[in-house]
Amino acid sequence: MPRARKATGGTRPARGATAGGRRKTTARKTTEELLQQSEHELGERVKELNCLYGIATLVETPDISLEEILQGTADLIPPILAVPGDHLRANHPRG
């Protein structure tokens, strides 16, 4: 007949509280943060591509003046900037 196990009195670490468990939790958190960052960056690229598509559409519009193209382009750009001017500074080190 098997013997009953003695209670440890709460000295065992809680499940997942081991060093390996902490590493797994940290790795998962890091992975989730990288995924969120990648999703954000992908969303930014989509906004930029939509802006470029809008500019291309303006340029291909029959009988549109240069002034209208320039104004339309100026209207399309602000929404793609997460922080106005931030994108431009990132691409131009002297900015």
Q: SS3 for the chain, per residue?
A: CCCCCCCCCCCCCCCCCCHHHHHHHHHHHHHHHHHHHHHHHHHHHHHHHHHHHHHHHHHHCCCCCHHHHHHHHHHHCHHHCCCCCHHHHHHCCCC
One digit per residue, the tens of pLDDT, for the chain of length 95 reads: 556 555 555 555 555 556 667 788 898 889 999 999 999 999 999 999 999 999 999 999 999 999 999 999 999 998 888 665 554 544 544 44
- What pTM was computed for the model? 0.57
